[in-house]
Amino acid sequence: MSMLLNALTADQEQMKAWRHHMHQHPEVAFEEHNTARYIADLLRGWGYEVTENIGKTGLVARMSCGDGKKSIGLRADTDALAVQEMIEGGHKSTIPGKSHTCGHDGHSAMLLGAAHYLAHTRAFNGTVNLIFQPAEEIMGGAVAMIKDGLFERFPMDAVFGMHNMPTLERGKLYFTAGQVMAAVDNWEIVLTGKGSHGSMPEKSIDPVVAGASLVMALQTIVSRNVGAKDSAVVTVGAFLAGDAGNVIPQTATLRLSIRSSAPETRKLVLDKVRAITAAQAASFGVGHEIVEGPPGAVLVNDPVQTAECADVARALLGDDQVVMPGPTFMGSEDFAYYAQHKPGSYCFIGNGDTPMVHHPMYDFDDRNLPVGAAYWVALVQHYLK
């Protein structure tokens, strides 16, 4: 075990305390006021220049050492999910219906561990920017911070991120150059018909039947339009219509999660959703409105930066603890928007054989805290020599 990993392992109980505090007090997207204040108070106590309220509830902690001109950004997410967790233990969420079932508490605690070490050793030459970002779960926090001048107010040459991942071997780091996570487009389709009594369907224009047909028709996009070598997903995760069995409602609403792994595939899929929706609506005689969410983005890792990150991890942990290339995922990450502005890389740390993120039984593995924190420190020391 390297000296750096030994040093961060000695701080594991402190990092665990920070994570458990955040886990007990989860806040969902753009409501992370107390979380941000908690993190900011710690960082100010260690000598960082902290700027709050960037992108609503985001913050950046900045520290410079020596005369180096280079600057690096490290990002952790802070938001929780609207999920009622089912874990037991002293750090269980105290807020009903909200929980850190994606591990963002662990991501923030790892970055805090690195921040604490860097502040006390000052063993780097340049500027480090610690980005604690809100609202990753709704793909809104990165965009909000960028629009609020993140890269203009806090110049940085490169930016890096990390996420835990169940099913990957615990404590190992996984790096993949190029496309690593999919773009997501969250859309809503509203079909408007004509309501009626359930006993007289002939007097109605039924949006439920139209919606049911549309759900099935949308499934043909991937199976019959997307090439087998490409990847896409069209999920209708919610179908909202009426609330009584004897009433044909006026409207039906479909909520979609559309994922794609390449820009050209994304355009094909979105165009097909629009076309099929219009054709299905016309065939059933219902009106339709598509409410398009923020444009999705594929997360693409810079090849040069990714190779350097993997080398840093190997020097820290040993070759057997680093996997490159690692897996790719159809899940999405708003770190993709940072990667459109700055070179960098986004890696995964294995959470072991645990329930998947977003599952009510998921919990971040505290044994990963010193590993992730040590990787962040090693990366800073490598980049800011």
The Cα–Cα gap between 26 and 41 comes to 17
* Other residues' Cβ atoms within 10 Å of the Cβ of residue 332: 22
Q: Where are the alpha helices (DSSP H) in 202-331?
A: 207-218, 220-225, 263-284, 303-317
102 is in an annotated binding site: yes
**Rounded to 10 degrees, what is the CA torsion of 303, 179, 181, 27?**
40
Q: What is the CA radius of gyration of the chain?
A: 23
Distance between CA atoms of 18 and 39, rounded to whole angstroms?
A: 9
* 65 labeled binding residue: no
Q: Is 288 annotated as a binding residue?
A: no
Query: Which amino acid belongs to residue 290?
Result: I
Cβ contact 200:266 at 8 Å? no
3-state secondary structure of 297: coil
d(CA 55, CA 301): 24
Angle CA 157–40–299, to nearest 5: 40
The reply, when asked if residue 137 is annotated as ligand binding, is yes
Length of the chain: 385
Task: For the chain, report the end-to-end CA distance as a whole number of angstroms.
Answer: 22
C-alpha span between 207 and 371 (Å, rounded) = 53
- CA 338 to CA 6: how far, in whole Å? 32
Tell me whether residue 163 is annotated as binding.
yes
Cα 123 → chain centroid: 30
Q: Is the peptide bond before 327 cis (omega within 30 degrees of 0)?
A: no
| Whether 151 contacts 306, CB under 8 Å | no
Angle at 57 between CA 55 and CA 58, to 5 degrees: 65
Closest C-alpha among 13, 4, 178 to residue 109: 13
In the annotated binding site, the residues are 102, 104, 137, 163, 358
In the annotated binding site for Mn(2+), the residues are 102, 104, 137, 163, 358
